[in-house]
Chains A and B, each alone.
Chain A
Amino acid sequence: MTTATRSGDAFKGTTRGTTGGTTHDAGALTVANVSHVYGKKRALDHVSFTLARGRFSVLLGLNGAGKTTLFSLITRLQAFQAGTISLDGHDLQRDPGEVLRRLGIVFQARTLDLDLTVEQNLAYHAALHGLPARLARARAGAVLERVDLAERHGDKARDLSGGQMRRVEIARALLHQPRVLILDEPTVGLDIKARAEVLAHVRTLVAEEGIAVLWATHLFDEIDADDDLVILHQGRVRGTGRADTIMEQMGAATLTEAFTRMTTSETV
């Protein structure tokens, strides 16, 4: 059974939570009762959670937990099978355009055009969101400034390091000023320093801009005690709530320990 609690609220353990599909105002992004199967394999099983505004939320799960499937559903790259996803009251299936224009996305795979410059990559994205050139240029300057890459605007994407590319992708995702930013394992393949930088930039965004972030990862050391967690295991939500609350609930000293208990005790 799934649990769904409002992020930021006290963690309700493993009690059956409300799925709250219609309470759009509860948070920035609402995922309600989403299930997905590939053939006979159940990738997502009644997944429900709400992303709070101005919070750094972590979608925590091991590889194969269903994170990428969930991302491709939210980004409309995969056909919907069951459930609802809504953003600011706009239903993804009824109104995909309105959801996508409020959503910033950073994919796990690199999606910059390597032959184009940083600026050109941003301009292309701005055009895909219908932003006029002048506005796009002004915003490109601002978002690059945000990720400390203003001076690299004329460089080819190919010449950037892995961490810098990721930061450009984050800057690009902010160009259309989304309400929600989702990132699918954004630190994969980065060294420790670059990882820390990317993470710090996104945390600053949350703090300063009040944007809601969903950060998918399987790396426990990227999580802070006051982050909201959605723990996904084998396609099911095993718990939601603040990291420290979850640890307390599980009587665990570390998050890893809490995670292990939650995912093993509930399996099967």
Chain B
Amino acid sequence: MRKAAPASPGFSLFQYAICLNGILWRETLRFLHQRERFVSALVRPLVWLFIFAAGFRAGAGPLLTPPYTTPVPYEIYIAPGLMAVIQLFNGMQSSLSMVYDREMGNMRILLVSPFPRWFLLTAKLCAGTLVSLLQVYAFLVIAWFWDIRPPSLFGYVAVLPALVLSGLMLGALGMLLSSQIKQLENFAGVMNFVIFPMFFASTALYPLIRIREGSPKLAFVASLNPLTHAVELIRFAFQQQINWLALAVVFIATALFLGGAIVAYDPARGLGARRSE
């Protein structure tokens, strides 16, 4: 049987689909096996919702900001921000698992697949995004009981493309960072220097107008923050509207981060040069 070498060079589209499907399947399976990861992915935003939002509600007061046409309670306001933060955490966690995989050798199995590397990394990114969608929808189910609901059930469908896009952007960012992290222990630094600053300097917790009142400089930073645009894209989509600026920014940022990650993982330029015997 060994003599049956591949007859034609290259792969068919069907084989690309098989490969993508395999990577999605494996990532989902791994996620389902790691129950603690699922629980903590849910608990984190719920703590913000149940505790922080409840405590902060009086201070913030009802907020009137697009896309809302009437003032909304604080927990309604921060729900889209929390969806984005679930994805931000997941993107960083996937990047952690890539660093871990790389050191433990699992990542090698992916990288020695004969498919082109850009495809493998993009497939891996899609898999991470799929996992983040599972987390966000689980969050939305619980949030429903907390009266956080879209104007109609269609909102749950409308938010999906926004979540896919923001998931890809944040996953690509994580991937880009993971190609730059040499050792595992530096991930704590990623938490402190990436996740928290991005989260707090965005419109996840407070609208841009309010930030501007407090600090115009911070507002300027927040308006450049890709997470702000991911949050706004999700916020508008959940209200069954489109924020075109956010859409454009998220789209471009995804392309840049993913392109950067692919370049960084190219053995001719990035990662490869680091491993020594």
Q: Does A161 contact B (CB under 8 A)?
A: no
CB–CB A120/B275 < 8 A: no
Residue of B nearest to A110 (CB): B105
Q: Does A251 contact B (CB under 8 A)?
A: no
Interface set, chain A 24-43, CB cutoff 8 A to B: 38, 43
* Minimum distance in angstroms from B107 CB to a CB of chain A: 9
* Minimum distance in angstroms from A81 CB to a CB of chain B: 10
Which of A10-18, A121-129, A256-264 interfaces with chain B?
A121-129
Q: Does B66 contact A (CB under 8 A)?
A: no
Q: How many contacts between A and B, using CB within 8 angstroms?
A: 130
* Minimum distance in angstroms from A121 CB to a CB of chain B: 9
Q: Does A113 contact B (CB under 8 A)?
A: yes
Which of A99-107, A196-204, A238-246 interfaces with chain B?
A99-107
CB–CB B18/A64 < 8 A: no
CB–CB A78/B116 < 8 A: no
Q: Does B241 contact A (CB under 8 A)?
A: no
CB–CB A113/B267 < 8 A: no
**Residues of B contacting A97 in the complex (Cβ-Cβ under 8 angstroms):** 9-11, 114-116
CB–CB A111/B18 < 8 A: no
Which of B19-27, B141-149, B168-176, B227-235 interfaces with chain A?
B19-27
* A contact patch SS: loop
CB–CB B112/A210 < 8 A: no
Bound form: Cα–Cα A109–B277 in Å: 13
Bound form: Cα–Cα A151–B25 in Å: 24
Residue of B nearest to A111 (CB): B105
**Residues of A contacting B267 in the complex (Cβ-Cβ under 8 angstroms):** 76-80
Bound form: Cα–Cα A113–B34 in Å: 13
Bound form: Cα–Cα A98–B113 in Å: 10
CB–CB B5/A127 < 8 A: no
Bound form: Cα–Cα A105–B33 in Å: 27
CB–CB B23/A127 < 8 A: yes
CB–CB B272/A77 < 8 A: yes
**Residues of B contacting A102 in the complex (Cβ-Cβ under 8 angstroms):** 5-6
Bound form: Cα–Cα A89–B25 in Å: 34
Beyond A113-B106, A179-B2, whether A77 also contacts B277 by CB under 8 A is no
Knowing that A78-B267, A80-B267 touch, tell me 7 more A-B residue pairs with CB under 8 angstroms: A101-B6, A109-B104, A111-B109, A115-B29, A120-B29, A128-B23, A128-B120
